[in-house]
A and B are shown apart, each in its own frame.
Chain A
């Protein structure tokens, strides 16, 4: 009994409060999203908001259950829990129910459970446990092992296939970064992901141009020298000239500028290197060259090597072509509803776009549309603010840990929330491609709510017990 009250005293109530607030806000928005005059009671169990209330109550019970368990359990059984979920991910491939083309669900009567939502917590534990045993400064072998801990569930989920969930697992690289992964490896990986997504959204040419400009900006930051501005000017001029010449004289496309610019900037960098013997210029230029090469490889691989039906399949896996009315329909609907919210929103239950059933998956992946339409810019900023608060609080909590185990796990929780938060809201407003992953605590669905609740509360339980000796 005394131990329990001890936990209540040490529990981080701010996080609990944020968790509760988000769940209630999510619930109210689900009610608004599927609101129908015929079923006005928010407690109607035949409707999604009624079911979500049940899920919330169950999440409360889960949270309490996690809090009363011994925190050593998570430490000692990390690998067992991981193994169990890997097994469940295997099992779901065999006996799972196929929904929207992915074998991702166990079916229990009217309810379905998605093991991939819970496997995130298990992966976080196993990764933390492994890093704890290795101390700091991750060498190549430690990195490789840590990566394979992440890749086992990733591969199993990719087979389902549920590309949305796969992408969220890459969040764990933030944990590796915090625990000492080489900064160059991390930035390369981050750039690779960002470039990949940008290339798919905007195409190669604008992204390559952006890269060139960025590299000059970086050069300017690191080597404060007016020569950089000069070089930029020369390059812009050369680019414009080559465009005009290419377009009007040779009838070539924008690709020519890229090639020309890369060559030109290469020459300028070479000169810099010669003049100042600067290491930074080499690094930046390698990043630029590598980036552009990677970009065209992705684009070439996608358009030239893959057959059209394979391209379509990848687009569908990325959720980018699940689109009955033509390119970008879902996104347009989403933009219209959020954009029409304006500054203050249309008011609760007064949204029209989401009620028209124009926005697909409005209570699950596109729940933010309801927020944007009915609560406007103000409400959207409040929701984003809540997430930022939660994320920063998680970093704080992680940093006050005495063991690598709890800290690494905490960063895992942080990273997953960050990716879900950014990708989900980003996709509704056209910053991210349409990738079907839920918004934590907001989206309709038991699996994701419970998965996130367990993820968070295991960390809170470990944090509450930070004074105790672990392992």
Chain B
């Protein structure tokens, strides 16, 4: 058969030859004609100096500076460019021994003879001053400017986080980072890394054998300028944060304070804490090891990462759900004879007036009342089964932000735990469980877990009568920026505003009421605080003290959750601390010196012993 397309082979061969000709012409141009690509003399070398941009600054909500930068210098060496020099003088300037010098030199050679490696990290400005004058005597060495984080006050370590060197794993994943680069490792530094870091630049210089820069390479054609990182404005009130950390000193626990109308976090305290400047610069790794080994776990951010059973503070949830489901009314009366009794089951209570209505039950924190209410919720005839009613109950909790991460703009948030229906099915057999089986949920005990952040968010929802914004820590990115748009989205919880009133009345009573009120220690003359105590059962020791509150009652400015581990009842420490925080934030001045002294004086060891 005749192949009538056989001539096309010439066109195809021409394609191959054309490709080769294009490549060879281009190579001829860049290798032979264009001299800019060639170094002008054999002994000239190019030096690529990375321009590290200044990391963005962090301000508090009032524009007060929290985190800034300080210049530091890395001394770099290119082993093949070194030649004999006065090592004694060199070591004297740097304050190192001959052995130290040899070790560092050896490490640099091991990395690469030709590529620059860090000889000494973060030398001080003074040392840099001396070194710079004599640097011409030390061929192969040069200095690269870096910045170190500095803090205006030794507070906010957990929320600010720290900056560390990138590890090899990340370098392999993300090509932006090179060995020796810094990256936010935790806190705001991590979650806003891309905004804070800016963009690196590079300057390429021609350098002669005497280590002198002879000028920029190819008229800086290949240089790129660095772009400084964006400044951040945090939602934190630095004064309140500092006060919170002071109140929590010598205690274990956390404080989360939120502005209800916006979801902005005013204070985020986790205790024990540490001075953030401990994790900066050359001392970072040794300090980090020490903090990590510390048995009280100062690196652990309890506000976001500790999950506790919410205890009695959870009763308000059951009250709200019961009202919304129509199974109880604010005026529903339940009796209490030192507890709730159903068959062989007893949930104990303390002595108080009986019977109580809903506000009274919140105020007195009556276990029996809420066991009855919870049972009514699950045994609601409107649903086909207890399990179905349970699913509905859980949906309300999820709408409040329980059982899932809230989505705060900080890393490592814990989701907490609200058991699903299948969880109990697995435990007791499918649909083989009843309201009484899970009755401990009525009073916030049992399998459930919530973080202090989630509890503060619950206080926010109550303060707002049913809605919230995702709690967040940054309100402005860059001079003209705003927060991430996810934080301006309003969430509703499916509970109508009027159902919050009896609960709030109870919370007001708990703080400001007469006999039977559980949190009178939190009372403030000038402002109506609404609050609720709780106690988280602790199988390992003394129970944890919890208090959630918001104030003022009308048009609330602050919602707060306070946890003090191993402190016993919520009224003992958590309530006064919350009250002092509210006073500090709303009035700017503490009038109750005795209460502050009482809180500051107490030392609670992790085993729960007051000292």
Contacts and interface: CB of A to CB of B under 8 A. Distances in A.
Contacts of A411: 12
B175 A358 contact: no
Given A136-B5, A178-B9, A179-B5, A429 B27 contact: yes
A115 interface: no
A370 B416 CA distance: 55
Nearest to B113: A37
Contacts of A340: 37-39
Contacts of B48: 356, 358
Interface in A381-433: 381, 384-385, 387-388, 391-392, 395, 398-399, 411, 414, 418, 421-422, 425-426, 429-431
A355 B15 CA distance: 35
A180 interface: yes
Contact of A418 (B3, B16, B31, B109): B16
Given A136-B3, A377-B27, A414-B12, A325 B202 contact: yes
Contacts of A398: 9
A342 B28 CA distance: 9
A174 B12 contact: yes
A36 B38 CA distance: 24
Contacts of A421: 19
A341 interface: yes
Contact of B30 (A360, A387, A429): A429
A15 interface: no
B13 A343 contact: no
B26 A388 contact: no
Nearest to A98: B173
Nearest to B20: A388
Given A136-B4, A356-B115, A399 B9 contact: yes
A329 B202 contact: yes
B20 A430 contact: no
A325 B201 contact: yes
Contacts of B32: 342-343, 377
A329 B203 CA distance: 12
B112 A336 contact: no
Contacts of A135: 1
B115 A174 contact: no
A425 B23 contact: yes
Contacts of B421: none
B17, B19, B36 — which one has the most chain A CB atoms within 10 A of its CB? Answer: B19
Interface string A108-152: 000000000000000000000000000111000000000000000
B294 interface: no
A136 B3 CA distance: 8
A385 B23 CA distance: 11
Contacts of A326: 199, 201-202, 224
B201 A392 contact: no
Contacts of B24: 380-381, 384
A326, A414, A418 — which one has the most chain B CB atoms within 10 A of its CB? Answer: A326
B45 A352 contact: yes
B27 A422 contact: no
Contacts of A335: 30, 37
A174 B14 CA distance: 12
A429 B26 contact: yes
B28 A377 contact: yes
A332 B20 contact: no
A324 B15 CA distance: 35
A339, A355, A395 — which one has the most chain B CB atoms within 10 A of its CB? Answer: A339
Interface string A345-358: 00000001101111
A372 interface: yes
B2 to A, nearest CB: 9
A342 B45 CA distance: 15
Interface string B187-218: 00000000000011110000000000000000
Contact of B112 (A36, A381, A395, A430): A36
A177 interface: yes
* 6 shortest interchain CB distances as A-B pairs: A339-B37, A326-B224, A391-B16, A422-B19, A339-B30, A377-B31
Interface of B: 1, 3-6, 8-9, 11-13, 15-17, 19-20, 22-24, 26-28, 30-32, 34, 36-39, 45-46, 48, 109-110, 112-115, 175-178, 199-202, 222, 224
7 contacts: A325-B200, A326-B201, A338-B27, A380-B27, A422-B23, A430-B30, A431-B22
